[in-house]
Chains A and B, each alone.
Chain A
Amino acid sequence: MKRTTLAIALAVLAWTAWDTGADPIRLGRGIPWLLDFVRRMLPPDLRVLPAALVGALKTVEIALLGTAMAAALALPLGFLSARNVASPAVFHPARVALNFFRSIDTLVYALVFVAAVGLGPFPGVLAVVAYTTTSLAKLYSEAIEGIDRGPVDAITATGATRLQILRYGVLPQVLPLFLSYVLYRLETNIRAATILGFVGAGGIGFYLQTYLRMIDYRAASTVLLVTVVMVMVVDAVSSRLRARLI
């Protein structure tokens, strides 16, 4: 049984390697080109630094605004799709809808929103909201399903209304988790937002793509460096905040 499974797995991997043209020799032949690419990126052209910083700021703005809006929008959805809070008639359809919309990536949403509202950071914000709302709602609902039943019983026993039970029995238990998920999504959204510019949805990705197209690799490397620093700074700040929450 185990041997058959292993054989099937290996066969599948071999087929995918053949079908995708994965070829170590080809990679070896490409290495000089890679080195040449890196050589042409150095030294970074610092004259484009101000433009890159403006782009980075836009990207942070897209991620911040998008994540904040999604964090709020996901709240009701999270409660509606939690098995232990919502009635089955509500949470089953809610779950299906969340899974459907969550399977579409931010970049695909960006393509759709660029077509709908035009170029710029705004479709980027909408794309971040669309994907993050559903993914946060899923995380929220799982946090709600994992709560300790005790405080809920205790609040119920005082004669509290349903909303009061959610506010005083459930929310205090899940809020730190929610905030930690939001910060985590902010980190991933900063990364997602860097490439949104590739499809015209604003931010630092727009500059990276422009310089690459102009074959101005030294300018592109400056943009890359700014991107790396931006992501590292946001990650560091966010993970420090998260560590405080748990």
Chain B
Amino acid sequence: MIEVAGLRVVLPPAVVAVDGVDLTVGAGEFVVILGRSGAGKTTFLRALNRLVEPTAGVVRIAGRPLTGADATTLRTLRRQVGMVFQQFNLVRRASVVDNVLAGRLGWAPTLPTLLGRFAADDRRIALDCLAQVGLAELAGRRADTLSGGEQQRVAIARALAQAPSSLDPTLTNSIMDLLKRINTQRGLTLVVSQHQLETALAYATRIVGFRRGRVVFDGPPARLTPPAAAAIYAEDPGP
């Protein structure tokens, strides 16, 4: 469960990216965040893991406050939240399996990993997660030799490796199908930022609309009427 209360993020020099957001995401929900670019979707997601420091407000992961947590607590909370980035953020020169192994860093002891050593279990989990996204045969390839779609799957496998459990190896072509399977089969809570309205409606169990750093819609896809969608995507008034 993710609980957000009064979250406000001001980015330097003085850009209010998230402006007082209250949101509770229950376990197993598939939340899609909609909004124009610059609406605060990405900053909001980054704040859920404190990759950006909130200016005010509270974020709780599974009941434990992430905001204000010391470094050790922060790390234990972070390893419960897998992040998949828009640009995938893989280490380009590293192999695919090494990129997925990075998902185990939060669980592995520091010293051996500094020497590049991981426990056999961690390696098994990494390969397993690669299989779950349908890329087992690419484990040894360098990340930057993969297509964009494949890199996105590697990024998902890295996030899955943080909380391993079983999932049938996939043959699906669509990333959203893959995420849906992860959501239903593994029961993982998903919060996804999306530009495309139709995609959001097809997969989400809940839609959250962002506009200028605030939540302007929150409800099931069925309730997202054309006027409500228009409100999310409305042009900003000029300065």
Enumerate chain A interface residues (CB-CB to B < 8 A): 150-151, 153-161, 163-164, 167-169, 172-173, 175-176
Decide: B78 and A156 in contact? CB cutoff 8 A: yes
CB distance A169 to B110 under 8 Å? no
- The answer to whether B93 and A158 touch across the interface, beta carbons within 8 angstroms, is no
B102 touches A154 (CB 8 A): yes
Partner of B91, one of A163, A164, A173: A173
Q: Could you write out 29 A-B pairs with CB less than 8 Å apart?
A: A150-B85, A150-B87, A151-B92, A153-B83, A154-B85, A154-B89, A154-B155, A155-B102, A157-B49, A158-B78, A158-B162, A159-B75, A159-B77, A159-B79, A159-B105, A159-B107, A159-B162, A160-B75, A160-B102, A160-B106, A161-B110, A163-B114, A164-B105, A164-B110, A164-B113, A167-B114, A168-B91, A168-B102, A169-B91
A153 x B105 contact (CB < 8 A): no
Q: Interface majority SS on A: helix, strand, loop or mixed?
A: helix
Q: List chain B positions with a Cβ less than 8 A from chain A.
A: 46, 49, 51, 74-83, 85, 87-94, 102-107, 110, 113-114, 155, 158, 162
Distance (whole angstroms) from the CB of B112 to the closest CB of chain A: 11
Least distance between B49 CB and chain A CB atoms (Å): 5
Which residues of chain A come closer than 8 Å to B80, judged between CB atoms? 159
Enumerate chain A residues within 8 angstroms of B89, measured Cβ to Cβ: 150-151, 153-154
How far in angstroms is the closest Cβ of chain B from A191?
31
Considering the chains assembled together, what is the distance between the CA atoms of A161 and B105 in angstroms?
8
Q: Which of B76, B83, B94 contacts A157 (CB 8 A)?
A: B83
The answer for the CA separation of A157 and B84 in the assembled complex, in Å, is 9
Contact between B91 and A151, CB atoms less than 8 A apart? yes
Residues in A with CB closer than 8 Å to B81 are 157
Total A-B residue pairs with C-beta atoms closer than 8 Å? Answer: 79
Of all A-B residue pairs in the complex, the 4 with the closest CB atoms, nearest first, are A159-B106, A159-B79, A150-B89, A159-B78
Q: Which residues of A contact B105 (CB under 8 A)?
A: 155, 158-161, 164, 168
**Besides the contacts A154-B89, A167-B114, A169-B91, what 16 more A-B pairs have beta carbons closer than 8 Å?**
A151-B89, A153-B51, A154-B155, A154-B158, A157-B49, A158-B78, A158-B79, A158-B158, A159-B105, A160-B105, A167-B113, A172-B93, A172-B94, A173-B91, A173-B93, A175-B93
What is the CA–CA distance of A5 and B4 in the complex, to the nearest angstrom?
Answer: 61
Contacts of A161 in B (CB 8 A): 75, 105, 110
In the bound complex, CA of A173 to CA of B94 (Å): 9
What's the least CB distance linking A72 to chain B, in Å?
Answer: 15
Q: In the complex, how many angstroms separate the beta carbon of A157 from the nearest chain B beta carbon?
A: 4
A169 to B, closest residue via Cβ: B91
Could you tell me the distance between the alpha carbons of A55 and B51 in the complex, rounded to whole angstroms? 56
Residue in A158, A167, A169 whose Cβ sees the most chain B Cβ within 10 Å:
A158
A134 to chain B, nearest CB (A): 25
Complex CA–CA separation, A223 to B167 (angstroms): 70
A173 to B81, CA, bound (A): 24
Q: How far is the CB of A172 from chain B (nearest CB, A)?
A: 5
Report the minimum CB–CB distance from A173 to chain B (whole Å): 7
Residue numbers in A under 8 Å from B158 (CB-CB): 154, 158
Query: Closest chain A residue to B115 by CB distance?
Result: A167
